[in-house]
Amino acid sequence: MNDQIAQVAQQLAEIPELSRGFDAIGFSQGGQFLRGYVERNNSPPVHNLITFGSQHMGISDLPACNPFDLLCQVARRAANRGVYTEWAQEHLVQVRYSTLTPNFCQLNH
């Protein structure tokens, strides 16, 4: 993520209108990315940052499995054991996904 933040910081620095700073809004993983930008670079500066659905405090658990789904149970236990390892903290970012219902898709097409 650090490389991506550096790349975005360079792109933002090339926009003259942003030289004095800007306000930012991030949704889910975008909010986490913007927080990383503010904490690691912040040039040009973010004056106000608003995030929605961003997991700033980490995660406390993984979604539950069907009690009879052995493969899911094994994967969940393995993930729970490794979520706070150094490798996971340096390489993974949690993302929240949204699912569109069939009715929503029908209404918008």
Report whether the peptide linkage leading into residue 44 is cis, meaning its omega lies within 30 degrees of zero.
yes
Specify if 33 maps to a domain: yes
pTM metric for this prediction: 0.56
Handedness of CA 86, 91, 96, 97 (dihedral sign): negative
Shared-domain flag, residues 48 and 63: no
Output the pLDDT for position 62. Answer: 62
Shared-domain flag, residues 8 and 26: yes
Range of the domain at 9: 2-52
Output the pLDDT for position 17. Answer: 95
Output the pLDDT for position 96. Answer: 46
Shared-domain flag, residues 73 and 48: no
Give tens-digit pLDDT for 46-84: 999 998 887 776 655 566 778 888 888 887 887 778 777
Specify if 109 maps to a domain: no
